[in-house]
Amino acid sequence: MKVLGVDIGGTFVKIILKDGDSVVKEKIAISEDVKEKGKFEKFMLDTILKYSPQKVGIAVAGLVNKEGVITNSPNLRYIEGINLKVYLQNYLNIPVFVGNDANFAAYGEYIYGNGKGSKILICLTLGTGLGGGTVIDGRIVEGVSGSAMEIGHMIIEKGGKLCNCGRRGCLEAYVSSYGLERIYREISGEDFSSFDIIKLAKEGDIKALNSFDIFIDYLSVGVMNIAHIFNPDKVLLSGGIVENYPQLLPKLRKIVKRITFPLPAKDLTIDSGLLGSWSGSYGALAVAENHSS
Ligand SMILES: [Zn+2]
């Protein structure tokens, strides 16, 4: 059976086509002229038609309700309000699954990545924002409305720093690329990209290392909260910051172990994801493969 996993990003649509044992990956640029309602749906239809799949899963950076409507996507405004599931099913006449990219990414790690065999798996994606997804006993935790696990917007500092969501003190306001950049700016008075701060930290720059200490402190509290609520066996971190600065992992493990109740800490493994920037596509593929409409 030909199954397609699609991840819609800011500039690319990332596709994995699985046909038996053969797996093909492709990145397709989203041109500016299709970035509007109506045109984007047609673009997705044409893109998918080329592969003639029998099932399709689609991961989107946003909130997707149970009917398939993308209700909220702060970084891809032109997909807000559209129902890709219904639109594509009408034209393709095949099962289409649309869901949140962080949830699908967690499922991708569960089926194809570093979360195989995990009973309670939590995945955090540290990038521009902080995304979260959970898989318990092989099922994605979606919540009643499909919006569960907005881990990045748990408030860990009441009245704290401003988050991109408009609230103050969210975990994301500290543990994200813009969070790291702000921390560094407050320490050094200088503006650097998270990419450069990582480079400086690797070179031993004391201000960059101090910035990471603060970053890791907040992340530790976030992981501790997750451990206290879910008692998971695995927390996986992925995204550009972790991929480029894996040095943060040993420190994080040490602090989490120190501040978390011993019982949940004992059975918790903190590690990095395996699928990198393809986790959303793998997750979409896995959802389509393992679910019936
Ligand atoms: Zn927030």
Instruction: Say what the pTM is.
Output: 0.93
pLDDT at position 12 over 80: yes
Distance 232 CA to ligand 1 centre (A): 23
The C-alpha atoms of residue 112 and residue 118 are separated, in whole angstroms, by 12
Q: Based on C-alpha coordinates, what's the Rg of the chain?
A: 19
What's the CATH fold of domain 116-273?
A: Nucleotidyltransferase; domain 5 (3.30.420)
Distance 226 CA to ligand 1 centre (A): 16
Distance 48 CA to ligand 1 centre (A): 33
Task: Report the pLDDT averaged over residues 57-62.
Answer: 93
The C-alpha atoms of residue 237 and residue 88 are separated, in whole angstroms, by 32
Backbone angles phi, psi at 144, to 5 degrees: -65, -40
Task: Report the pLDDT averaged over residues 154-172.
Answer: 95
Determine the residue type at 116: K
The residue with tokens 């480079």 is: 199
Distance 24 CA to ligand 1 centre (A): 36
What's the pLDDT band for 129 if we cut at 50, 70, 90? confident
The C-alpha atoms of residue 1 and residue 55 are separated, in whole angstroms, by 8
In SS3 terms, 78-102 reads as: HHCCCCHHHHHHHHHCCCEEEEEHH
The C-alpha atoms of residue 218 and residue 223 are separated, in whole angstroms, by 9
Q: What architecture is domain 2-103+278-290?
A: 2-Layer Sandwich (3.30)
The Cβ of residue 159 has, within 10 Å, a number of other Cβ atoms equal to: 7
Terminal alpha carbon distance of the chain: 16
Are residues 34 and 43 in contact, defined by beta-carbon separation less than 8 angstroms?
yes
Distance 165 CA to ligand 1 centre (A): 4
Residues of the chain within CATH 3.30.420.40 domain(s) are 2-103+278-290, 116-273
Distance 153 CA to ligand 1 centre (A): 4
Continuous segment of H or E residues that includes residue 44:
helix 39-49
Distance 172 CA to ligand 1 centre (A): 6
Distance 158 CA to ligand 1 centre (A): 12
Distance 174 CA to ligand 1 centre (A): 10
Are residues 104 and 59 in contact, defined by beta-carbon separation less than 8 angstroms?
yes
Residues 76-93: pLDDT tens digits? 888 999 999 999 999 999
Tokens of 143: 């919540």
Residues in the chain: 293
pLDDT at position 75 over 80: no
CA distances from 198 to 91, 207, 290 (A): 46, 11, 38
pLDDT of amino acid 293: 66
Tokens of 188: 């050094």
pLDDT of amino acid 9: 86
Q: Across the chain, what does the average pLDDT equal? A: 95
